[in-house]
Amino acid sequence: MRHGVLPSPLGELTLARDERGLVGIWYEDHRGGAPADLGARDDAAFGDVAAQLAEYFAGERTAFDLPLAPRGDAFEARVRAALLEIPYGATRTYGELARALGGPGYAQAVGAANGRNPLSVVVPCHRVVGADGALTGYAGGLWRKRFLLSLEEPAADAAGRLF
């Protein structure tokens, strides 16, 4: 495993990868933090990730094409797969994801797994909102979630916003 640090509009990002792919992307004040042992620092090993993130933040990329190798249990993997199905510029509620994964009773489990997503931005956990559309929990802070959703907001929707 190796890691790198990358500047972004959301602050420094710590990235980690192993031989299988990208293991995680964490904000500098990420709730729960990055794992303690991320291996040697090798910023040059993340050129592909840096390029795709730069394109995303410039509004030129709507999906990532990176090998992913996050840690977690089988349910967390199912939640991450469901998150990857949420289109750029769209949101889903925890309840909608829960129903897609087996039933409305899964909403809290979906929320917990979503909160443990180690691949911020790339696996779009920021696209999950509360039942009423409100911004709820985000390991990087609600200001980052708001930033990401605004970045992805369709131009016609942004033009009609009052704020």
Asked if residues 113 and 75 have their Cβ atoms less than 8 Å apart, the reply is yes
- Which residue reads 């443990």 in tokens? 116
DSSP, res 155: H
Asked if residues 22 and 119 have their Cβ atoms less than 8 Å apart, the reply is yes
- Which residue reads 């990358």 in tokens? 6
**Choosing from 34, 107, 125, 148, which is the catalytic residue?**
125
Closest residue by Cα to residue 116 from 66, 70, 69, 67: 70
Look at residue 13 and give its three-state secondary structure.
strand
Active site residue 108: no
Q: Which residues are catalytic?
A: 125
